[in-house]
Structure formats: C-alpha cells, structure tokens
Amino acid sequence: MTSARRIVLASRPAGQPGSDNFRTEAFELPEAGEGDVTVKALYLSLDPYMRGRMSDAKSYAAPVPVGGVMEGEAISEVVKSRHNDFSPGDIVRGRTGWSSHAVINGDQLRRVETHGAPITTSLGALGMPGFTAWAGLKFIGQPKAGETVAVAAASGPVGSMVGQLAKLAGARAVGIAGGKEKCAFVKNELGFDAVVDHRSENFESDLKAACPDGIDVYFENVGGRVWDGVLPLLNQFARVPVCGLVAHYNGAGAGDRDRLPATMSTILRQSILVRGFIQIEFAKDHFDEFLAEIGPRVAAGDIHYREDIVEGLEKAPEAFIAMLSGGNFGKLLVKIAE
Amino acid sequence: MTSARRIVLASRPAGQPGSDNFRTEAFELPEAGEGDVTVKALYLSLDPYMRGRMSDAKSYAAPVPVGGVMEGEAISEVVKSRHNDFSPGDIVRGRTGWSSHAVINGDQLRRVETHGAPITTSLGALGMPGFTAWAGLKFIGQPKAGETVAVAAASGPVGSMVGQLAKLAGARAVGIAGGKEKCAFVKNELGFDAVVDHRSENFESDLKAACPDGIDVYFENVGGRVWDGVLPLLNQFARVPVCGLVAHYNGAGAGDRDRLPATMSTILRQSILVRGFIQIEFAKDHFDEFLAEIGPRVAAGDIHYREDIVEGLEKAPEAFIAMLSGGNFGKLLVKIAE
C-alpha cells in the first residue's frame, strides 16, 4: 500500500474561506480494481469554481461533503494500470482531487496532449480555462472583426485567453484587471488593445474611454461591480457569455440598491443576449477541435499565458484563499511532485 | 382642408402618467404630396411601449417631443391617394399616431390582411403583439413538446398568444394574470394548462405548484416581482425572451435589496439564455411567414383573443393610463371612426 496525503473539506465556510475549512490527512491508497489506474499527482489546478463546491447551496454540481476530499483536476503520472489505454509513466489528466495519489477508473482519465507545449498548459491555456474562453466566444460571444470584446480578470487563465482569441478574430480586446502589474502584463505581454484597472476610482469612466465604440461582447467571469461599468456601454445586440461570478462566491458583489431593473431594461432596450454556461456543455463535442486549433499556437508561443506555481500540496488551501480575492497572478497550480 | 384632431404629449411624466401629460388639439391636415396617402383613422392601438416614448431616457427609439403627436399604430381607411399601391376605400395599417387623420407616405403603410378575421386583429393577434409572441418563441424561446412555458400578463395580447402558440408546440402553458376574471379567461377561454394570480399572497408557491417540472421558457413581458417567483423555477438551459418590462415603465419594479446577484448566479448555474428583443428585429424577414401561419388559425377561431375597445380618440389617454396599471382586459384599441 502507498501512503498518500490529501486535503479534505473540514467545514463549510461562511463567506470567505479560511484555512480552518481545510484539513490535510494521510490515507492508505486502496488497491486498484479491474479498469482502474493508480496515479501520482504532479500538478493540481486551483480554480474559482471550487468555492462553489464548498457550499451546499443549489448548484450545477453536487457539493463536496464535509470530510470529503476537495475536488479538482490534476496532471498525474501513471504508477500502475489495470486499464488497457494506460501504462506506467503515462502523463494523464483527470479529476483526482486535492490529493498526492489516486486510484481512478481509466475511463475518467485523458492522456495529456499539448502539441509540444509544457504539460502544465493542459490545466490552463490548453485545459479547462482555455477551453472555457474558446467555447464561450465560439458558441455565445461570436466576436466579429472590428467589434469590441471586454473581459475582466484579464490576466487570469480564462480572461487572458478571451482577449487573445478576440484579437485572432479581428476584434478589439479590452481587459479589466486589478493593479498596475497585472494591467501591464495584459497590455504588454498579452497584447490587448487596452486595459483598465478596476481598482481605479475612475473605473467606470476609464472603461468608457477604453471602449469608444461601446462593447459588443462582455465575457463575464467576475460579476460584482465591474458589471456596473460594463452595462451602460453594451451595444445593440451585444452578447454576454457568463462563465463565472467569482466576486459573488463569497457572498459579496451585491450593491446597496436593486441593480436588476437597470440590467433587465438594458437587456431589453439593446436586444442583448446573456447566456450562462459551464464548459462541460461543449467539451464532449468540441474539446478536440479546440486542442487542434489552439494547441499549436500555444506551443509556438503565439498565444501567451502565465502560470503561478505553488510548491507542495499543503500550500493549496492558502493559495486558493488568496486567489479568491485576486491575490495571485496567472493560472494557479500546485506542484505536488516532480 | 380637412379638420382633424390629434393628441399630443403636453409634458413628460414623472412616474405614472396623468391626463395632464396629454393634450387634445385640432389641426389642419396638410395637402398630400407625391407618393402620399391621406387616411382617416378607424382604430388606434394602445400599447405599453408607448410609455417609453413619453420619456427622454435612452431607448431603442427616439422619444416623442413635448408638443408632438403621440406615436402609435392605427388601422385607417384611405381617403385620397397619390401612391400607386393604394386607392380610396383601402384599409391600411401604419404608424399614423394618436390622430383622427393623417397624411403619410404610402411606403410606410401596409394593406390590412387578416385571412378573413376582423380587421382589428391586425393590431392584436395578427399584428405587432401577436408577432412579438410568435417571433420571441420561434427565435428565442423555442419551446419543445413536453416543456413548460410560463408567461405573465397572460390575458393580454402578447401573453395570450404566447400560451396558445406554446400549446401548439406541444408544451405546457402556464399563465400569470391579475385577478379572478382574467385568470378564468386564461384557463377557460385561452386553454392554458394552468394559471396563477400574481395578486395572491402565495404567488410564489402557487407558481411553483403550477410548474411541477420547473420552467423551460419564461416569456418576460412584465418584469417586477413576478421574476422573483420565476427565477428559482428556471430549469437548466431555460430560455427567457425579454420583450417588455411594463412594471418598470413607471419607475416601479425595484426590490428593497439587490436582486442582480441572485439572477446572475441562476443564469450561470442553470446555463440560462436571456435575450432582449424588439419585434422589428424580425419583422422585415418574417412577418409574412407569421401571417400565413397564424392568420388562418385566428380566422378559423382556433386561436382566441380578446379586445378591449374604447370609443373616441379623446378617451385614449385615460385608457392608456389604466392599461399601464393592469386596468384593462384584452388588446386595448380606441375606435376613432366607423
């Protein structure tokens, strides 16, 4: 038996999670059954949606039970395999959780394919975040040449891809990010046409100045106050893919007045499309198409990304907590083993 | 010269309009130029969107100027024609305003065609309200057999058509209306599967009971508090065509808390589509298709409608004011002449 470590949900948070909501524990890895694969985790992906899994509010996915291992996707190396598709040494991706090792049915694993880019991209630019950006634009946002695409958390793994894909479509990309360092990255390294700091006191007028022709696509992945700046700029027939509301996850994001009537009136007046989505809706039919289209561009360095790699599984809770308040910079990964 | 009467916007209302916002005046009808048609109005349509035209807030259409004739669509008889398509005695439909007579370019008129139904239906079931229902369902709501379609103002000209078209698509139609009389009409005459009174203290639980399988399409034409009952019932992949927010037109419809975060979270969690629209987006390409499909059904009595006809142009302001607070029952028309 292999001795392994995992991080479980110790208790449900009220508002912002704290380190006491998590507990690291040792566990004995079970024997693999027929069709199972035993893996050693290399990199764990930390993502905002995990905050939702910590609560038992109604959601599109079941919550993590108290005492259960925190859910998450990781890149792993196959140690033992009782599944025909995998052999020891294979690098795979799967929802093995916040855990150093796992035994999982091989049907739930996917071989990592990055077209030559580093394997960590399969959790970021070429993984769920990158696919979220690609699918949200392809199936909902549909930016056209000359249009303006705005996205918040623009230095993050979804937002950075949204802007770069918008540019590839011939649209103008306007990023929204927090702080000078992130804004400089969005403008200079990712090549967005403009960037606005949401921490600025003049955020709303700054955004307006950055979008002289209004906004045709607003890729919503934060919610909260950014929306108040975006709403008056939305053009007729604007599209708003909604893939995340990180500002709401801790119960924040509410205003001191009812902001719904203004939102609905604008949706009506401007014939706006708002569409929530979870990437899994499109993944089965379109992930391979995404990988074939975007993989070579990432491998060639035409599409840029940034990673924020924390060392050691036990660091996952504090890194996750910091991410929820914008305290990281780039796709957040936890390196668990070499 | 013909002596004519018209109703103009005397002043802009703050909140609920009053009779002092309108003024009836006599005017001399101008001579018709080349291509013009002189018409005598028979029936004027009164519709909620007109409240928007009384304000100078940003809108999809320019406001009526103070002192200008109130905008609106009417059925008229051609008195004189200097346009090749029309002759005296023709019955036509056009945006001739709240006016007993008008001179208008013939290109802006449309010959009334109702497949044998009364001409007044060209302002209701076979006019803009009916087309709004048809287009909102066909291009946005897309109800499938077995799904549940809910609509508010279900006894009104748009809502009554939404439910009947939903039934034709094999869906379950749930109406929301105000008061016993309207509810009975929706259930018994229009044939909806269920109806809920929004004036009930138990509105939210009544609606839930009427939608045991949730709501797949909510046709939004009122806004306000009804939304709070609808939101928790929306199913995954629900569609919400937004064609009107009459509850907001007088500045009402706001809650005592910020209702936007719950709405956006539900849109995300349930992968919901919300799409504002104005029927003119679809009218040019699809009005004839609508008329060919629905006209014979209305003429044959397979699709039911109700009209609320007020006599005399001078009654238009008070009838319009009452309509905004739900005080009419059926498609509101003003009979101006025989």
Sorting pLDDT into bands at 50, 70 and 90, what band is B249?
Answer: low
Cα pseudo-dihedral A133, A137, A138, A141, rounded to 10 = 160
Sorting pLDDT into bands at 50, 70 and 90, what band is B2?
Answer: low
Percent of chain B past pLDDT 90, that is, above it, reads: 88
Assess whether pLDDT exceeds 80 at residue A273: yes
Which residue type occupies B222?
V
Architecture of domain B128-276: 3-Layer(aba) Sandwich (3.40)
pLDDT at B1: 52
Kindly tell me the burial class for residue A6, based on how many C-beta atoms sit within 10 Å of its own C-beta (0-12, 13-18, 19 or more).
buried
CATH topology classification for B3-120+306-335 = Quinone Oxidoreductase; Chain A, domain 1 (3.90.180)
- Contacts (Cβ under 8 Å, ≥6 apart) of B71: B50, B53, B64, B95, B97, B98
- Report chain A residues whose CB lies below 8 A from the CB of B255: 258, 260
Q: Which residue in the set A265, A269, A273 is minimally distant from B275, CB to CB?
A: A273
pLDDT at A217: 98
Closest residue in A to B62 (Cα–Cα): A269
What DSSP assignment string belongs to A58-82? S-SSPPPPTTSBPP--EEEEEEEE-
Q: Which of A181-190, A238-247, B137-146, B288-297 has the lowest mean pLDDT?
A: A238-247
Q: Which of A50-64, A274-288, A295-309 has the lowest mean pLDDT?
A: A50-64
- Report chain A residues whose CB lies below 8 A from the CB of B257: 254, 258
Assess whether pLDDT exceeds 70 at residue B274: yes
- Contacts (Cβ under 8 Å, ≥6 apart) of A208: A229, A232, A233
- Contacts (Cβ under 8 Å, ≥6 apart) of B273: A273, A274, A275, B140, B237, B238, B239, B240
Assess whether pLDDT exceeds 70 at residue A2: no
pLDDT at A336: 97
Sorting pLDDT into bands at 50, 70 and 90, what band is A253?
Answer: low
Sorting pLDDT into bands at 50, 70 and 90, what band is B247?
Answer: confident
Cβ <8 Å between A245 and B223: no
Calculate mean pLDDT across residues A287-299. 96
Burial A185-200 (b: 16+ CB within 10 A, else e): bbbeebebbbbbbbee
| ipTM, two decimals | 0.90
Assess whether pLDDT exceeds 70 at residue A1: no
Question: Does the structural domain A3-113+305-335 have CATH classification 3.90.180.10?
Answer: yes
pLDDT in tens, A175-212: 999 999 999 999 999 999 999 999 999 999 999 999 99
Cβ <8 Å between B259 and A260: yes
Closest residue in A to B258 (Cα–Cα): A258
Give CA separation, B168 vs A89, B131, B134, B136, B297, in Å: 59, 15, 11, 15, 11
Q: Give the containing element (helix H, strand E) for A235.
A: strand A234-242
Using the 8-state DSSP alphabet, how is residue B31 labeled? P
- Contacts (Cβ under 8 Å, ≥6 apart) of A243: A132, A136, A158, A219, A220, A221, A276, A277, A278, A279, B268
Kindly tell me the burial class for residue A231, based on how many C-beta atoms sit within 10 Å of its own C-beta (0-12, 13-18, 19 or more).
buried
Q: Does B271 touch chain A (CB under 8 A)?
A: yes
- Report chain A residues whose CB lies below 8 A from the CB of B263: 260, 263
φ/ψ of residue A50, rounded to 5: -65, -25
The alpha-carbon radius of gyration of chain A (Å, integer) is: 20
Mutation pick from B59, B260, B277, B279 vs chain A, by most beta carbons of A within 10 Å, is: B260
Domain ranges of chain A: 3-113+305-335, 128-276
Calculate mean pLDDT across residues B254-271. 90
Assess whether pLDDT exceeds 80 at residue B59: no
Are the CB atoms for B191 and B214 separated by under 8 Å?
no
d(CA A321, CA A306): 19
How far out from the chain centre does Cα B140 lie?
Answer: 17
The overall average pLDDT reported for chain A is 94
pLDDT in tens, B91-107: 999 999 999 999 999 99
The overall average pLDDT reported for chain B is 94
Which of B288, B240, B234, B13 has the alpha carbon at shortest distance from B137?
Answer: B240
Q: Give the containing element (helix H, strand E) for A104.
A: strand A101-105
pLDDT in tens, A151-165: 999 999 999 999 999
Q: Which of B176-180, B182-186, B323-327 has the lowest mean pLDDT?
A: B323-327
Strand partners, A308: A332
Are the CB atoms for A224 and A253 separated by under 8 Å?
yes
Q: Give the containing element (helix H, strand E) for A133.
A: helix A128-136
What is the β-pairing status of strands B215-219 and B234-242?
Answer: parallel
Which of A139, A157, A261, A270 has the alpha carbon at shortest distance from A216?
Answer: A270
Helix, strand, coil shares, percent, chain A, to 5? 35, 25, 40
Using the 8-state DSSP alphabet, how is residue A32 labeled? P
pLDDT at B57: 78
Cβ <8 Å between B270 and A261: no
How far apart are the CA of A338 and the nearest CA of chain B, in angstroms? 36
pLDDT at A255: 76
Sorting pLDDT into bands at 50, 70 and 90, what band is B56?
Answer: confident
Residues 200-229 of chain B whose Cβ lies under 8 A from any Cβ of chain A = 220, 223, 227
Q: Which residue in the set B227, B256, B265 is minimally distant from A245, CB to CB?
A: B265
Sorting pLDDT into bands at 50, 70 and 90, what band is B224?
Answer: confident
Are the CB atoms for A244 and A49 separated by under 8 Å?
yes
How far out from the chain centre does Cα B302 lie?
Answer: 20
